[in-house]
A and B are shown apart, each in its own frame.
Chain A
Amino acid sequence: MHNDLNMRGSLTIFRREFAAYFNSPIAYIFIIAFLVLNAGLFMTGFFLSGAADLRGFFGNLPFFLIFFIPAVSMRLWAEDKRLGTFELLMTLPMRTADVMLGKYLAALAFYLVALAGTLTLPIMVGALGNPDGGAIFSSYLGAALLGALYLGIGTFTSGLMRDQISAVILGIMACFLLFVLGIPAVAATIDGWVPGLGSLLQNYLGLSSHYEMMLRGVVGAADLAYFLGLTAVFLVLNALWLEGRKF
């Protein structure tokens, strides 16, 4: 009965937060900007190289989302702190983790809506050529997991900050770090300073290698574990931080 109520609590928060995205014009601006930019990148690739594939689109996503995702998640906690509703949420009969999950999933759903808007691209590609359906599917899975991870980071940084601007800047920096650590040249440079450290960071924290496997159509358990595990870490940190604030 207890868990049941908590699920319902998360669902209530989810509904409010998801609606809040679409209550503001910013949501539509975000979605349109996301689609236009991504479709634009795809088209440019298509016309320049004549290649009717989605590599350009998916390949750019880890960089592009560094800016898009923290902007989506920045309001999650910072907005409630500004409005004073944070105090309401923290005195509702549900755990901090339940509130957090509702908020996080609302942001994820919003991102998935934007991502779903790009499904016109594979349809176009399908009409023009003979794409690898499996790779497209796994690429979308990779894009969803990538967004989920960035959103976990963004939710965490939103919880640290009182205002949205600091939340988005900190979020961008944290996502950028994961992105950069995954770049082989960066790993090699760090290895040059401290032998082994760069590769270690690249393997455990850097996202490129995990993400790129999925673009190639390979969904490995280690890659899934990387995305889901790291996302969970940030969400747990988020809940712990918000609980710890009481003291």
Chain B
Amino acid sequence: MSNYAHPEVLVEADWAKANIGKPGIKFVEVDVDTKAYEVGHIPGAVGFNWQTQLQDQVRRDIVSKEEFERLAGAAGISNGDTVILYGDNNNWFAAYAFWLFKLYGHKDVRLLNGGRVKWLAGADLPLTADKTEVKPTAYKASPADETLRAKLMDVIEIARSSAAARPSNLVDVRSPDEFSGKVIAPPGMTETAQRGGHVPGAASVPWAKAVNQDGTFKPLVELKQLYLEEAKLNPGKPTVAYCRIGERSSHTWFVLKYLLGLKDVRNYDGSWTEYGSVIGVPIER
């Protein structure tokens, strides 16, 4: 399992259990279902709310550097800490938070392999509803590392080039029905686009294909098979991942960059809600 390109960004449940409460190690839970943390979390973990804390509340954007500093500081995180992220739905939003931590230059951030599902399944892995006491810190973030991000213009350029001249691989990580344009967004979702379909040239690899039934990441051979053989991503080129609002794609971004070790991987956080609403850009169904 540790033949991943960067095994150091993944921790297993046993390691996490042994490191609960250790100085310099901070657990952060980020869930799709924001109620989950309140019901029970790893002792000492803080909870981030992806809707109110991880995105700008006025502009459509990620949180600003200053907001991120406030958030990390209020969570008691210091720049030198090892941050362990975990969450529900196979670490869906935990991976988004991981991308943000990297974007703002945090050195040592890791994902708990298997996330919440795996933790809940372990009889000897503790969970508590007790409130976590935090000592606020003065956290300093680096300016956003824009090389981890793809912008609309980059994606339009990919869409308009012929297969041979395409500057980057493009991976659409949404469900098959979103890819085909049968639905614009999963049922009940409020963030949507004007049109359904996908960016021309995108390979469809639903994000959850990268995980096993127990929530852990698939072994390297299977990931290679999935992304390099079946989806035919060219490891010699940069890669852009997108979804609907940029969170599921950060999960795939993590897999491609840290587990497979592809060189230049970017998350297109504008994703389909941006691309699918732009006048005149090419769309495929």
Q: Do the two chains belong together in a single complex?
A: no
Residues on A facing B (Cβ under 8 Å): none
Residues on B facing A (Cβ under 8 Å): none
